A = this chain, B = another copy of it.
């Protein structure tokens, strides 16, 4: 089902970061559903988390532990989100952290927990605790690919990418994995994503860099407008590369690295949309010449969330009136429809607020038949451009989400 993307190829190890996976039987038997990541002494970790006010117990604990000290272990389970579980959820998460601390001689506050899956059901702590020794036994710097599989839920393919860049003559590796296919509209954070690099990045720079690249990657995708309770994105710097730490993101010697990190985050974010539940199309909604970033994003998300636009995309129907109607209902006060133009890829469909006089249905149909599409909307008001990426609304989306718990 995934649009224009292959399962992750062989991912490059990042010195200082090991990964281990096991089958703990959390929701179904015989599935890799528990991942441990071991971060060597000296690793720095930055994270951003969901802004959903019902954030999950592991999000609460991960934030608390991260504020306390640098993490040494990440623990990720699928099959259960441990969200909406109240005080019991907090206790369950801490019991999992205790178990891994006991096995590794780490402190409890050096463990960052993550969960993804069904909301509102108690976490099966004993299954996780029983699975931990096997996952720890499996720890290896070469295991990014199995970890990419181990964090999947309704994903159809494991998502990951590596980049090699050179900073001042020193080779630097960046490897990242992500998961997510539904309940996707990250807000100031993301679905689960883990990115490691051996670059030396000071804690302040690491957090700055993460927030910058997330803003233009995970914070620009939507499948169904539903922001998860469990989103988290991490950037881990192992400091193993033989370089002085980066202290300032504007350092010219590091710009290739920063671009590579941005590209890698965008790839991982788009990979989630390409593998969206039931997706048959990968669509960029690009708003140009808006007065403000907020105006551009409001219009882009209104189009990207419209069930009528999304079902037309599924049907490959160039029913562009639905795009126009969605633009018109966006919560942007100053919109002047007479200035608005809309394209499907490079085919002009709307000019000066009405059907473009040269538009031919056959031309629109030819673009709509493609798997990948850009809906470009020129508001004619300013000079701000923003893009969001989304998928269509298909029978399979309804089937997957109607049958999710069965």
Residues in chain A within 8 A of chain B (CB atoms):
51-55, 81, 83-89, 118-121, 182-183, 185, 187, 224-229, 305-308, 311-312, 314-315, 317, 319-322, 324-329, 335, 337, 350, 352-355, 393-395, 397-399, 401-406
Contact = CB atoms under 8 A, between A and B. Distances in A.
B397 A83 contact: no
Contact of A324 (B119, B187, B337): B119
A350 to B, nearest CB: 7
Contact of A315 (B226, B305, B403): B403
A325 B402 contact: no
Contacts of A395: 395, 398-399
Contacts of A121: 321
The 4 closest A-B pairs by CB, nearest first: A86-B354, A119-B321, A54-B328, A120-B321
A212 to B, nearest CB: 23
A299 to B, nearest CB: 11
Contacts of A228: 325
Nearest to A334: B53
A225 B310 CA distance: 12
20 contacts: A53-B328, A54-B324, A54-B353, A81-B321, A83-B321, A84-B350, A86-B352, A89-B354, A118-B319, A119-B321, A120-B321, A224-B306, A226-B325, A227-B328, A229-B324, A308-B401, A314-B402, A315-B406, A319-B405, A397-B398
B85 A354 contact: yes
Nearest to A306: B226
Contacts of A120: 319-321, 324, 355
Nearest to A321: B119
Given A328-B55, A404-B319, A308 B224 contact: yes
A225 B305 contact: yes
Contacts of A88: 354
B404 A393 contact: no
Contacts of A54: 324-325, 327-328, 337, 353
A292 to B, nearest CB: 17
A184 to B, nearest CB: 10
A156 to B, nearest CB: 18
Contact of A329 (B52, B329, B337, B352): B52
Contacts of A182: 308
Given A54-B324, A55-B328, A393-B307, A355 B401 contact: no
A77 B295 CA distance: 34
Nearest to A81: B321
A21 B335 CA distance: 38
B183 A308 contact: yes
A347 to B, nearest CB: 14
